[in-house]
Structure 1
Amino acid sequence: MEAALLFFAVAFAAAVLLLVRLRRRDLGGPAERAAFETLHKASLAAPALRRGLTRTGAEKAARHLRELLDADDLAITDREEVLTGPRDGVMALAAHSLETGRARVVELPGGGAAVVVPLATGAGVAGTLVAFGGQASAGLVRATEEVGRWVATHLELAELDLSRELLVEAEVRALRAQISPHFIYNSLTTIASFVRTDPEQARELLLEFADFTRYSFRRHGEFTTLAEELRNIDRFLMLARARFGEERLRVTLRIAPEVLPVAVPFLCLQPLVENAVRHGIEGRPGPGRITLLAEDAGAECRLIVEDDGVGMAPEEMRKVLAGEGATGTGIGLANVDTRLRQVYGDAYGLVVETAEGAGVKITLRVPKYHPGVTAR
Structure 2
Amino acid sequence: MTSSKEALEQLEREQWDLVIVDVMMPNMSGYELAQLIRARYTVLELPILLLTARSYLEGVAAGFLAGANDYVTKPVDPLELRARVRSLVEVKQSDEERLRMEAAWLQAQIKPHFFFNTLNSIAILSELDPPRMREQLLQFSTYLQRSFDFQNAQQIVPFAQELELVRSYLAIEQVRFGDKLRVVWKIDEDSDFYLPPLTIQPLVENALVHGLLNRIEGGTLTLSVTHDGDEVEIKVEDDGVGVAEERVKELLAGDRQTRRGVGLFNTDYRLKQRYGKGLQIESGVNRGMTVSFRVPKMQGTK
State TM-score, norm by structure 2: 0.69
Q: Report the Cα offset of residue 320 of structure 1.
A: 2.3
Contact 1:209 1:235 in 2 (8 A): yes
Residue identity matched to 1:253? W
Contact 1:5 1:153 in 2 (8 A): no
Q: Could you say which residue in structure 2 is the equivalent of 1:353? A: 282
Q: Could you say which residue in structure 2 is the equivalent of 1:367? A: 296
Q: Could you say which residue in structure 1 is the equivalent of 2:49? A: none
Q: Tell me: CA distance 1:339–1:154, structure 2 relative to 1, closer, same or farther (3 Å).
A: same
Q: Could you say which residue in structure 1 is the equivalent of 2:133? A: 202
Contact 1:264 1:366 in 2 (8 A): yes
Q: Report the Cα offset of residue 329 of structure 1.
A: 4.2
Q: Map 1:1-376 to 2 at 5 A.
A: 6-8=18-20, 146-176=77-107, 179-220=110-151, 221-245=154-178, 247-258=179-190, 260-324=191-255, 327=258, 329-330=260-261, 332-345=263-276, 348-369=277-298, 375=301
Say which SS state the counterpart of residue 119 (structure 2) adopts.
helix
Q: Report the Cα offset of residue 174 of structure 1.
A: 4.1
Query: 1:278 and 1:336 mapped to 2: Cα distance?
Result: 17
Q: Tell me: CA distance 1:307–1:273, structure 2 relative to 1, closer, same or farther (3 Å).
A: same
Say which SS state the counterpart of residue 20 (structure 2) adopts.
helix
Say which SS state the counterpart of residue 267 (structure 1) adopts.
coil
Query: 2:120 and 2:170 mapped to 1: Cα distance?
Result: 16
Say which SS state the counterpart of residue 261 (structure 1) adopts.
coil
Query: 2:127 and 2:296 mapped to 1: Cα distance?
Result: 48
Contact 1:175 1:335 in 2 (8 A): no
Q: Which of the two has higher C-alpha Rg? A: 1
Query: 2:245 and 2:255 mapped to 1: Cα distance?
Result: 13
Residue identity matched to 1:183? F
Say which SS state the counterpart of residue 214 (structure 2) adopts.
coil
Say which SS state the counterpart of residue 315 (structure 1) adopts.
helix
Which structure's relative contact order is higher, taking Cα pairs within 8 Å and 6+ residues apart?
A: 2
Q: Report the Cα offset of residue 218 of structure 1.
A: 1.1
Query: 2:108 and 2:216 mapped to 1: Cα distance?
Result: 30
Q: Report the Cα offset of residue 230 of structure 1.
A: 1.1
Q: Report the Cα offset of residue 299 of structure 1.
A: 1.9
Contact 2:254 2:260 in 1 (8 A): no
User: 1:119-154 CA distances to partner (integer Å, 9 max, x unpaired)?
Assistant: xxx99xxxxxxxxxxxxxxxxxxx9x8432343244
User: 1:80-105 CA distances to partner (integer Å, 9 max, x unpaired)?
Assistant: xxxxxxxxxxxxxxxxxxxxxxxxxx
Q: Report the Cα offset of residue 265 of structure 1.
A: 0.9
Q: Report the Cα offset of residue 179 of structure 1.
A: 4.5
Contact 1:226 1:261 in 2 (8 A): yes
Over the aligned positions, Cα root-mean-square deviation in angstroms equals 3.1
Residue identity matched to 1:148? L
Contact 2:185 2:223 in 1 (8 A): yes
Contact 2:211 2:239 in 1 (8 A): yes
Contact 1:178 1:331 in 2 (8 A): no
Q: Report the Cα offset of residue 201 of structure 1.
A: 1.3
Q: Could you say which residue in structure 1 is the equivalent of 2:35? A: none
Query: 1:210 and 1:336 mapped to 2: Cα distance?
Result: 24
Q: Tell me: CA distance 1:283–1:168, structure 2 relative to 1, closer, same or farther (3 Å).
A: same
Contact 2:226 2:234 in 1 (8 A): yes
Query: 1:337 and 1:179 mapped to 2: Cα distance?
Result: 21
Query: 1:312 and 1:231 mapped to 2: Cα distance?
Result: 29
Query: 2:295 and 2:222 mapped to 1: Cα distance?
Result: 19
Query: 1:251 and 1:5 mapped to 2: Cα distance?
Result: 40
Q: Report the Cα offset of residue 284 of structure 1.
A: 0.7
- Alignment coverage as a number of residue pairs: 237
